[in-house]
Amino acid sequence: MKRYLLKSFLGMILTLFITITLTFFIVRAAPGGPFDRERVLPPAVQANIEAKYHLNDPLIKQYIDYMTDIIFRFDLGDSFTYNDHDVNYYIATSLPHSMLLGFISLTLATVMGVGVGIISALKQNRWPDYTAMSVAVIGISVPLFVIGPLLMYVLALKLKWLPTSGWINGRNGWVTLIMPVITLSFPYFARIARLGRASVLEVLKSDYIRTARAKGLSSAVIVFKHVLKGSLLPVVSYLGPAFAAIMTGSVVVEQIFRVPGMGTYFVKSALNRDYTLLMGAMIVYSIILIVMNFLVDVLYSVLDPRVSYE
């Protein structure tokens, strides 16, 4: 087991290293640079700016400097767009907000999704199943950028129950969480419910459940002790990447509800060619993802005794 852990850890470090390296060169291969403007700057001014951010150094030197800063000083560098603070600051001020929103949304989505999935499967092709799956299809097919404005229109503009937007440390406080959480958790809920239903169905017909039934165990015991555990596998596989994605924020939800999370940086800094800020965000995402996928692998053997990594 120790060897397995050590090997996994080294694998994670290597994966992260390759990811950072590839990303470093890919972002610089895209057309356009961080300081291109509709107004063409005089070459001297452009050169001054590039010199300030060391963009005129040879690429390989930039890469080595960047890696050195990350490894020895945990310094992700200066943002090319935002002049007053560095990347560490922007990530430190945005990640906790994303994580709070993501954590609540994903917890809600998982609990609801698994529950609905099980009920749906047990009542397969009967009305509770159809109703639940219809709701799920809506959640899957209606995009965030439609759900968000719809909620805002109904709850804020028409009913005046909630403020349109804002965040919990603003003047409206915790109520600002409600709409972002609903919007963000709905599609995750829908996916988990669909997956959960399918895998419960899969487990219900497997040999060991049949054996359990044959042994005369009650339905409740079967469901909670055997079905639930066995059927969580696909959901858990899905949750690994989903966790990384939701914890690092959603640009759509953040923009609609003015949530100061990290998701916006993935898109905005890409469009601004803000290489350092984008890389900072990608690194955080990659770390969470790699760790989560590792945990998922470990969870497999916990959930399913048939799985082993020996």
Partner 1 sequence: MKKVLLFVLITATMVSFYSCNKSSEAPEAKAATPKEPVEFIINNGAEPESLDPNKIEGVPEHRIYMALFEGLVAYDPKSGRAVPGMAESWDITNGGKTYTFHLRDAVWSDGVKITAQTFVDSWLRECNPETASPYSWFPAMFIEGADAYVNGEAGPEAVNIKAVDDKTFQINLVGPLPYVIDALAHYAFAVVPIHAIEKYGDDWIKPENFVSNGPFVLEEWLPRQQLSVVPNEKYWDRKSVKLDRVIYLSNDDNNTAHNMYLNGEADWNVTVPLDQMDAVQDEPWYVNAPYLGTYYYIIENKTAPFDDVRVRKALTLAIDRETIVKKITKGGQIPAYSMVPDMDGYPVLDDPKSHNFAKDVETAKKLLADAGYAGGAGFPDDVVILYNTSEAHKKIAEFIQEQWKQNLGINVTLQNMEWATYLQQRREHNFTVARAGWIGDYPDPNTFLDMFLAPESLDGAWGGNDGRYDNPKYDALIEKAATMEAGAARFSTLKEAEKYFITEDQGVLPIYFYTSNNLIDMDKWGGWYPNVMDNHPPKTIYLK
Partner 2 sequence: MSDLKNEFDQPLKGNSLGADAWRRLRKNRMAFISFFIVVFYVLVSLFAPILPIYSYTAQDLDHQNLPPSFQTADAVMVNQEIKKIEKKMKRDERTEMTADEKAQIEEFREYVANEKVVVDGKEINPNKKRYLFGTDDLGRDMLARVIYGGQISIAIGFVGTLTAVLIGILVGAVAGYIGGKLDFYLMRLVDILYGMPYIFIVIIILALFGGNIMALFFALSFVSWLTTSRVVRGQVISLKNSLFVEAARSMGASSGRIILQHLLPNSMGIIIVFATLQIPSFIMQESFLSFLGLGISAPFASWGSLISDGVGGMTSYPWRLFFPAMAMTIFLFAMNFLGDGLRDAFDPQSKNEL
* Residues in contact with partner 1 by the rule CB under 8 A: 30-33, 35-45, 48-49, 51-52, 81-85, 89-90, 93-94, 96, 99-100, 103, 107, 149, 152-153, 156-157, 160, 163-171, 255-258, 260, 264, 268, 271-273
The entry of partner 2, partner 1, none that residue 90 binds, CB within 5 to 8 Å by partner kind = partner 1
Nearest-angstrom CA–CA distance, 262 and 277: 10
The entry of partner 1, partner 2, none that residue 40 binds, CB within 5 to 8 Å by partner kind = partner 1
Min separation Cβ 171 and partner 2, Å: 26
Nearest-angstrom CA–CA distance, 266 and 261: 11
Min separation Cβ 197 and partner 2, Å: 8
Footprint on this chain of partner 2 (rule: CB under 8 A) = 11, 14-16, 18-19, 22-23, 26-27, 29-31, 125, 130, 133-134, 137-138, 140-143, 145-146, 149-150, 153, 191, 194-195, 197-199, 201-202, 204-205, 207, 210, 213, 233-234, 236-238, 240-242, 244, 266-267, 270-271, 278-279, 282, 285-286, 289-290, 293, 296-297, 300, 304, 306-308
The entry of partner 1, partner 2, none that residue 35 binds, CB within 5 to 8 Å by partner kind = partner 1
Q: Which residue has the tokens 């939701």?
A: 246
Contacts of 52 (CB under 8 A, 6+ apart): none
Could you give the 3-state DSSP secondary structure of residue 249?
coil
Min separation Cβ 169 and partner 2, Å: 28
The entry of partner 2, partner 1, none that residue 4 binds, CB within 5 to 8 Å by partner kind = none
Could you give the 3-state DSSP secondary structure of residue 165?
coil
The vertex-119 CA angle with 115 and 120, nearest 5°, equals: 110
Residues 139/186, Cβ–Cβ less than 8 Å: yes
Q: Determine what percent of the chain falls in helix, strand and coil, rounding each to the nearest 5.
A: 75, 0, 25
Residue 3 tokens read as 């060897």
Give the number of C-alpha atoms closer than 13 A to the C-alpha of residue 41, restricted to the C-beta side.
13
